[in-house]
């Protein structure tokens, strides 16, 4: 039932990596997850071991059928994936220019997934595509925005703050959080930017993911960070964020217990 939207006004900040690894991490806690790709790059599926040659997805037939769930793929790790898929220019244009801008279209498309009370839907949104975000907002419980610990992301802070303020004004407003990604304490600029972001955004920051070679290796291996290197700092960081999100969403584990807040980490 809960919907987590991963969105950023900046490209390459780790949206796809975060969306996929949140799914992986939540699933290791006994929760059922589905990763939904709204990005025409169609890259989310590659984080789940789905072969490059598999170009199936829901967008190509979106104008004829609102049954997105029939395009669901299951993965060996008990996480479901709904890929964007291969499209023609016309199909993609119809999806981006009109269909996705209609909240009722998104509601219909996601209906079956959101109707399952024990299924957590994690959506990977295309960079800076405000229409997709806007359509998802009435359904999203949480919006998570990864930003890099660099000056380019820093310059976008006012935009992120304005967006979050706009979201907060809406009826049944989604909770909004920032993840600082690729924090690297060996680099002064990273430390400075992180310090400034933490001071300025305060409670909005739900976690920090360190720059870690295991992330790159996991992407290359099409696996989760934790399965590539369970002891890696990034795997730990993602686990902390998933637990915080699970707690904020009031999710219940298989044994019926609720998540409780983990100790604050790094912040
Ligand atoms: N914590 C990290 N440590 C090291 N590398 C990382 C980390 N997070 C992401 N990366 C790398 O950064 C690159 C961009 O990540 P990703 O594709 O998840 O970003 P994105 O926001 O989805 O990009 P796009 O805007 O193109 O959709 C990838 O090569 C990924 O492996
Ligand atoms: Mg991406």
Residue 267 has pLDDT above 50, yes or no: no
Six-digit token string for 79: 């996480």
- Nearest alpha carbon, ligand 1 atom 9: 14
For atom 26 of ligand 1, the residue with the nearest CA is 12
pLDDT mean over 125-133: 95
Torsion, CA 219, CA 223, CA 225, CA 227, rounded to 10: -150
Q: What is the pLDDT of residues 189-236, one digit of tens each?
A: 999 999 999 999 999 999 999 999 999 999 999 999 999 999 999 999
Which residue, 29, 22, 27, is CA-closest to 4? 22
Region 152-177: what's the mean pLDDT?
Answer: 96
Q: Whose CA is nearest to atom 2 of ligand 1?
A: 211
Greatest alpha-carbon span in the chain = 52
Lowest mean pLDDT among 111-120, 206-215, 249-258: 249-258
Q: Which letter does DSSP use for residue 262 in this model?
A: P
Convert the pLDDT of each residue in 15-68 to its tens digit: 999 999 999 999 999 999 999 999 999 999 999 999 999 999 999 999 998 889
Going from the Cα of 160 to the center of ligand 2, the distance in angstroms, rounded, reads 18
Work out the number of other CB atoms within 10 angstroms of the CB of residue 1. 14
What's the DSSP call for residue 244? H
Q: State how far the alpha carbon of 158 is from the alpha carbons of 107, 152, 154, 261, in Å.
A: 30, 12, 9, 29
Find where tokens 């909770």 sit.
Answer: 175
Confidence of residue 254 (pLDDT cuts 50, 70, 90): low
Indicate which ligand has the atom closest to the C-alpha of 214: 1
Residue 88 three-state SS = coil
CATH number of the structural domain 3-248: 3.40.50.300
The β-bridge relationship of strands 119-124 and 142-148 is: unpaired
Q: Could you tell me the sign of the dihedral formed by the alpha carbons of 263, 13, 124, 126, in that order?
A: positive
Q: CB of 153 closer than 6 A to ligand 1?
A: no
| Interatomic CA distance for residues 34 and 252, integer angstroms | 17
Bridge-based pairing of strands 79-82 and 73-74 is antiparallel
3-class secondary-structure state, position 163:
helix
Mutate to test the pocket of ligand 1, among 215, 224, 229 (most ligand atoms within 8 A of CB): 215
Distance CA 38, CA 27 (A): 21
Ligand 1 atom having least distance to the Cα of 237 = 1
Does pLDDT of 263 surpass 70? no
Q: How many residues does the chain have?
A: 267
Q: Which atom of ligand 1 is nearest to the CA of 127?
A: 25
User: Averaged over 76-93, what is the pLDDT?
Assistant: 94
First-to-last alpha carbon distance for the chain, in angstroms, is 30
Q: How far apart are the CA of 14 and the centre of ligand 2, in A?
A: 7
Question: CA 87 to CA 108: how far, in whole Å?
Answer: 20
Residue whose C-alpha is closest to residue 179's, from 159, 158, 153, 155: 153
- Reported in sequence order, the residue ranges of the chain that DSSP labels E, i.e. its strands, are 3-6, 32-37, 73-74, 79-82, 119-124, 142-148, 175-183, 205-210
Which ligand approaches the C-alpha of residue 37 most closely? Answer: 2
Check if 219 has its Cβ closer than 6 Å to any atom of ligand 1.
Answer: yes
């Amino acid at each position: 039932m809960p919907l987590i939207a991963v969105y950023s006004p900046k490209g390459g900040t780790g949206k796809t990596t975060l969306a996929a690894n949140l799914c992986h991490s939540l699933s290791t806690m006994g929760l059922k997850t589905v990763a939904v790709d709204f990005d025409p790059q169609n890259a989310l599926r590659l984080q789940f071991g789905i072969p490059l040659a598999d170009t199936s997805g829901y967008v190509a037939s979106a104008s004829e059928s609102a049954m997105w769930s029939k395009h669901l793929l299951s993965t060996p790790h008990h996480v479901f994936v709904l890929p964007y898929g291969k499209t023609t220019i016309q199909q993609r244009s119809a999806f981006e220019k009109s269909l996705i801008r209609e909240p009722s279209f998104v509601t219909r498309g996601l209906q079956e997934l959101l109707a399952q009370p024990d299924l957590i839907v994690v959506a990977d949104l295309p960079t800076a595509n405000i229409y997709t975000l806007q359509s998802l907002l009435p359904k999203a419980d949480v919006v998570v925005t990864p930003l890099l610990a660099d000056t380019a992301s820093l310059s976008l802070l006012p935009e992120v703050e304005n967006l979050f303020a706009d979201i907060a004004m809406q009826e049944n407003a989604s909770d909004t959080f920032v993840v600082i990604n690729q924090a690297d304490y060996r680099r002064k600029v990273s430390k400075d930017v992180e310090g400034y972001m933490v001071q300025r955004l305060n409670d909005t920051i739900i976690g920090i993911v360190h720059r870690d070679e295991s992330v790159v290796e996991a992407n290359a291996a099409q696996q989760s960070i934790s399965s590539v290197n369970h002891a890696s700092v990034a795997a730990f960081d993602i686990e902390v964020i998933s637990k915080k999100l699970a707690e904020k969403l009031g999710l219940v584990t298989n044994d019926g217990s609720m998540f409780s807040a983990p100790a604050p980490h790094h912040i």
